[in-house]
Amino acid sequence: MAGRILIVEGTASHRILLRARLTSAFYEVLVAETGGEALAMIDESRPDLVLAATELPDMCGSGFCTRLRALPDQADTPLVLLTEDDLVDERLALLAVGADDVIARAVEDILLLARLRSLLRRARAQDQMELRTDAKRALGLSEAPRSFQRPARVALVSLDPALGLDTIAARLRVGIGAQVELSAAGTLLQSQAISAEAVVLIDTGGEPGAGLALLSQLRTARAQHHAVLVYVTDKGRDEMAARALDLGADEVLHNGPEALELALRLPRLIGRSRRAKRHRAALRNGLRAAMVDPLTGLYNRRYALPEVARMAQQAARCGQPLALLVADLDHFKKVNDRWGHAVGDQVLVATAQRLTAGRRAQDLVARLGGEEFLIALPGADIDSAAAAARLLCEEVAQLSLPMPRLRAGRPSLFSPTISIGIALMDAGGEAVETALLRADGALYAAKHAGRNRTHVAPPAAFPHAFGALRGA
């Protein structure tokens, strides 16, 4: 089924007609005769959308909307109210109390069904954004109410050169405190254009089809990709309005440009857009936190191992080598024991910065854990990898880090050193873990040889060469 819709209608003939229209569009249809019956069944039936008449046997449309919005978890359930006549004042009043749309009962099926599809898409997108409360806290989405909201940026675009927008712009500036600009269509499509939070496209007198074509381009334009798109057309152009909704318009006004209606709809749309933007940012930050070591800013082991596996596959396809360097700080335990873990953290951060300095974009630097680091060098043969490793040793050894005073006198300076094991991944499909074991063995050999130096692992066919050193 396309979705579950609750029809609330007191007149039997209207219920039957609406049910037939929606069932033929493959919706699951529930029916209630009164507002009270509908409110009682909503918690159990959980409709995806409510379609209600404004004149019910036990209450008016405004009262039904207010009581629906007061129910738990029903603040965002899409609600469409059907009126007998298309009266501007009635529509504005019902939008003001929380209806998502107000449509005349005589509207064409093509527009009614397109409106329902649009609202259901929006509701499902919002459901996907909504996380459980504990997950929100974990990702930092639970935030204190904001005492200041910046003014919304709204762009007005008209395809009718004879239509003046100054009055509408002035009313929006006063009514919702928005920063409203009159924009040309081409300006908004430029890659360097300033992103608007909402674009109101008024298609009431331009070339036929031009408005829908512009709408499609705005939806995919880089600068306006996340903007709220409101399409405005004249009464009687139901097919155009329906096509606009299916092309991605977030809202359609099909009775011409009405400043008061825009002032009612835009704040809700922009509010949803801002919440979605915060969700996306929090999810990106959560993903980053799962991949990045918080102390050094390097990728962590969880990210590095699958990434090296991907790099190895690409190297094998291209017939290119891939070198793995495992670096470890020498005598790091002594640093922690002498100066404390806070100083040890500073040494780790400084070392990480030296390891990443000058690296190519395709190289990977990660912290495997503790004082151990991984550097993956795609395209590097054993000679260039060994040269890069020696240079890293020299650069780290050049650090001169001030240490806290342990007794009276001048603070001491500390120069850390690292040892590095090098392994060239076998082109025959060697597992990442196996290559890391070889590099780790070479690291032990470098430590055993005196530290602050590098060692190259033997080829994959001879991994037993480090057995004695590991047992030492």
Helix or strand holding residue 372 (H, E): strand 372-378
Instruction: Report d(CA 432, CA 125) in Å as an integer.
Output: 39
Q: Where are the domains positioned within the chain?
A: 1-126, 131-141+149-290, 299-405+412-471
What is the reported pLDDT for 131? 54
Q: What is the mean pLDDT of residues 71-92?
A: 93
The DSSP H or E segment spanning 338 is: helix 332-339
Q: Name the band, by pLDDT with cuts 50, 70 and 90, for residue 352.
A: very high
- Residue 138: pLDDT band with limits 50, 70, 90: low
Indicate the helix (H) or strand (E) that contains 83. Answer: strand 79-83
Whole-angstrom CA distances from 81 to 36, 85, 269, 270, 368 are: 16, 12, 18, 22, 59
Q: Which residues are paired to 375 by β-bridges? A: 325, 365
Q: Distance (Å, rounded) from C-alpha 278 to C-alpha 276?
A: 5
Strands 79-83 and 49-53 come out as parallel
Name the band, by pLDDT with cuts 50, 70 and 90, for residue 470: very low
State the pLDDT at residue 132. 44
Instruction: Find, among 328, 325, 343, 368, the residue nearest to 451 by Cα.
Output: 328
Residues whose CB is less than 8 angstroms from the CB of residue 441 and which lie 6 or more positions away in sequence, other chains included: 421, 457, 463, 465, 466, 469, 470
Residue with token string 């600068």: 223
The rounded distance, in Å, linking the Cα atoms of 291 and 288 is: 5
241, pLDDT greater than 60 = yes
Q: How many CB atoms lie within 10 A of CB 85?
A: 9
* Residue 374: per-residue pLDDT: 98
Lookup result for tokens 């239509």: 163
SS3 (DSSP) at 366 = strand
**Residue 398: predicted pLDDT:** 96
CATH architecture of 131-141+149-290: 3-Layer(aba) Sandwich (3.40)
**1-126 and 131-141+149-290 share one fold:** yes
pTM over 0.85, yes/no: no
CB 423 within 8 A of CB 438: yes
Burial of 248 (0-12, 13-18, 19+ CB in 10 A): middle
d(CA 268, CA 272): 6
Task: Give the helix, strand, coil percentages of the chain, each rounded to 5.
Answer: 45, 20, 35
**Lowest-confidence segment of 121-125, 130-134, 395-399, 455-459 by average pLDDT:** 130-134
Q: How far apart are CA 83 and CA 52, in angstroms?
A: 9
The SS3 of residue 414 is strand
Average pLDDT, the chain: 89
- C-alpha–C-alpha distance, residues 35 and 60, integer Å: 8
From residue 458, alpha-carbon distances to 303, 389, 425, 426, 455 in Å are 27, 16, 11, 11, 10
| CA 406/CA 409 separation, integer angstroms | 9
Bigger pLDDT: 207 or 408?
207
- Domain 1-126: CATH superfamily, name plus number: Response regulator (3.40.50.2300)
Using a 10 angstrom Cβ sphere, with 0-12 exposed, 13-18 middle and 19 or more buried, the burial of residue 289 is: middle
User: 281 vs 372, which has greater pLDDT?
Assistant: 372
| SS3 annotation, 372-435 | EEEEEEECCCHHHHHHHHHHHHHHHHCCCEECCCCCCCCCCEECCCEEEEEEECCCCCCCHHHH
Residue 469 has pLDDT above 50, yes or no: no
Task: Please report the pLDDT score of residue 278 as a whole number.
Answer: 85
Note the pLDDT of residue 134. 47
Q: In what helix (H) or strand (E) does residue 32 lie, and over which residues does it extend?
A: strand 28-32
pLDDT digits over 154-185, tens only?
999 998 888 889 999 999 999 999 999 998 88
CA distance 380 to 321: 6
Phi, psi for 82 (deg, rounded to 5): -105, 125
User: CA-to-CA distance for 227 and 45, rounded, in angstroms?
Assistant: 34
Q: Give CA–CA dist 32/29, Å, rounded.
A: 10
DSSP letters, 118-133, are: HHHHHHHHHHHH---H
Question: Bridge partners of 232?
Answer: 202, 253
In sequence order, what are the residues at sequence separation of 6 or more whose Cβ sits closer than 8 angstroms to the Cβ of residue 460? 426, 428, 430, 434, 435, 438
What tokens appear for 349 in the block? 């951060």
How far is CA 265 from its chain centroid? 24
**Which residues, in sequence order, are bridge partners of residue 90?**
none
CATH T-level fold of 299-405+412-471? Alpha-Beta Plaits (3.30.70)
Alpha helices (H) in 202-258, listed in sequence order: 210-220, 238-246
pLDDT given at position 130: 64
pLDDT band, residue 133 (cuts 50/70/90):
very low
Q: What is the mean pLDDT of residues 21-48?
A: 94
